[in-house]
Amino acid sequence: MEKKLLLGDEAIALGAIHAGIRGVYAYPGTPSTEITEYIQRHPLARERGLHSTWCTNEKTAVEAALGVSYAGGRVIACMKHVGLNVAADAFVNSAITGVNGGMIVIVADDPSMHSSQNEQDSRFYGKFSLMPVLEPSTQQEAYDMMEYGFELSEREKLPVLMRIVMRLAHSRAAVTVKDSASDVQALPCAKDPASWVLLPANSRRKYAALVEQQPRLEELAAKAPYTRYEPSDKKKPMGILACGIGYNYVEEVKEAKSCFNVLKITQYPLPVSLVRQLAEDSNGILVVEDGQPFAEELVKGMLSADYPVKGRLTGDLPRTGELTPDSVATAMGHQPVRFFEMPKEVVSRPPALCQGCGHRDVYTALNEVVKDYPNARVFADIGCYTLGALPPFRAIDTCLDMGASITMAKGAADAGVFPAIAVIGDSTFTHSGMTGLLDAVNDKAQITVIISDNLTTAMTGGQDSAGTNKFEAICLGLGVEPEHVRVVVPLPKNMEEITRILREEIEYKGVSVVIPRRECIQTLNRKLKQKRAEKKS
């Protein structure tokens, strides 16, 4: 046994390697990215040839992972919470097919939206698809739960969802890890079309079996190794139901152990037996969960209507945002004391596009051109370039989800908006933009699509981008006219050329694509540094 200082994400990655996975399938997304990056760097993963290259999006990742499972290997698929929306079709249906080799889908939620558009809680997806859900509270549990999760998945023949939150993903702690990894697991390949071909006749049978399996899954959750009931010595004190890392904030309050009955939940379906026991021993229940009031609503449904249940819905904890030790302590009646206030001189410091970033030149050019079109709308997308919404550029009008720039621009153009301009990054384009471009081409929509190609997935730290060197070919293949696929180099000295081309393409009555291409200066600098280091040694 060895102790290692690991991020929650890294603990999961190492746990997966040690449990003998065949590979990881993922698309980057904060706060999940470091799981895959750790595996990419790990010597044993390299030695074993484990799959760890990035997928084009989360749906392709989950489907490929299910393919590995079908073939008999253990596998993980990783993504941020909104990635699960993209993968939802594969994910939900994989509970119906079930699995062969163990499969864990790891989804990192982002309460408080530190780097996301929403704070959706992935546990709803687990319940919705009737899958077992694991929710570790510490880095150590995250590591240990990988082996456990694979065994659970293989025994129940179901995929398992592991839900983590940003604080666990991006917090470091010492983790005791095994000295050696299990061998790469290899069950015989599945061959059972009645299970794997989801025709209605098969699906009905499989779905009925899945529903029938639920009481057992709930029993397993009640007996889960990291789920624990800790009654206090007091008679009928307040009860606390703490999920995942919510438990840590409860424990942080000195009086927690002696003054409250604490039920720690780390696996779902939420076990009714434990909740009823807690309710019986306590004079009320405070539900502490990071994310949406998922367990709180379930607990209410399990108890009589007049039983006092407190949490985010009652305002005892804030309805939105990440849990903090402060908010939990306050809900437990131990409001922390503040000695100093933030002086009023302190102002916010929003992030900005790096100096010298090519997206800056794209927006400078676009703003210059759009000045002449008072009705122009710029439909943008998700990536570093979303920062073009902030001063000094204020260049974009919308940003919804990955890929929506092209499709929203098309819809708006259909409804009469001119010019309708889409701005999308290279990685986002291959993630979810290509299909929308095909729609636009087929309808001859009058839109101008700017694919701001910085040769990387910059927002999440500079991962490889699936379409690098292929964009012109993709656009032509989808049917954009060759003379309306234009490539420029976004630099201040080319401003005249870029604005001229933008004007020409805006005026073209059909789909045009302008590709400003210059490498992200952060990845460029990193490569230069590496080269210098290599030269030295």
- 72 vs 356 by CB, closer to another protein: 356
CA 31 to chain centre: 7
Could you tell me if 126 and 89 are in contact, meaning their C-beta atoms sit under 8 angstroms apart? no
Which token pair is 136? 């570790």
The C-alpha atoms of residue 165 and residue 188 are separated, in whole angstroms, by 35
Of residues 422-461, those binding ligand SF4 (CB under 6 A) = 454, 458
Of residues 451-480, those binding ligand TPP (CB under 6 A) = 454, 456-460, 465
CA dihedral 320, 326, 332, 337 (to 10 degrees): -140
Compute the least distance from the CB of residue 4 to another protein, in Å: 10
- 52 vs 153 by CB, closer to ligand TPP: 52
- 376 vs 384 by CB, closer to another protein: 384
Contact with ligand TPP (CB under 6 A): which of 94, 120, 427, 448? Answer: 427
Of 176, 147, 174, 171, residue with least CA distance to 245: 171
Residue position matching structure tokens 């129940």: 156
Compute the least distance from the CB of residue 250 to another protein, in Å: 8
Task: Give buried/exposed letters for 241-253 (b at 16+ CB in 10 A, else e).
Answer: bbbbbbbbbbbeb
The C-alpha atoms of residue 114 and residue 425 are separated, in whole angstroms, by 21
Contact with ligand TPP (CB under 6 A): which of 18, 22, 59, 80? Answer: 80
Q: Enumerate long-range contacts of 84-87, CB under 8 Å, 24 or more apart.
A: 84/58, 84/122, 84/125, 85/120, 85/401, 86/57, 86/58, 86/59, 86/402, 86/431, 86/432, 87/57, 87/58, 87/59, 87/61, 87/62
Residue 232, φ and ψ in degrees, nearest 5: -90, 170
Of residues 296-355, those binding ligand TPP (CB under 6 A) = none
Residue position matching structure tokens 């895959």: 36
Site string for ligand TPP, 157-176 (x = CB under 6 A): --------------------
Compute the least distance from the CB of residue 149 to ligand TPP, in Å: 23
Of residues 169-208, those binding ligand TPP (CB under 6 A) = none
Strand ranges, E, within 382-524 = 420-425, 447-452, 485-488, 512-516
The C-alpha atoms of residue 490 and residue 385 are separated, in whole angstroms, by 13
**494, interface contact from ligand TPP, another protein, ligand SF4, none, CB < 5-8 Å by kind:** none
Contact with ligand TPP (CB under 6 A): which of 271, 291, 383, 436? Answer: 383
Could you tell me if 262 and 238 are in contact, meaning their C-beta atoms sit under 8 angstroms apart? no
Does residue 384 touch ligand SF4 according to CB under 6 A?
yes
Contact with ligand SF4 (CB under 6 A): which of 184, 190, 272, 354? Answer: 354
Q: Which residues bind another protein (CB under 8 A)?
A: 5, 7, 30-31, 33-34, 114-115, 167-168, 170-174, 245, 248-249, 251-252, 324-326, 329, 336-343, 345-354, 384, 387, 459-461
**382, interface contact from ligand TPP, ligand SF4, another protein, none, CB < 5-8 Å by kind:** ligand TPP
Contact with ligand SF4 (CB under 6 A): which of 167, 206, 359, 517? Answer: 359
**Applying CB under 6 A, which residues contact ligand SF4?**
353-354, 357, 359, 384, 454, 458, 520-522
Query: What residues make contact with ligand TPP under the rule CB under 6 A?
Result: 27-29, 80, 82-83, 86, 382-385, 402, 425-428, 454, 456-460, 465
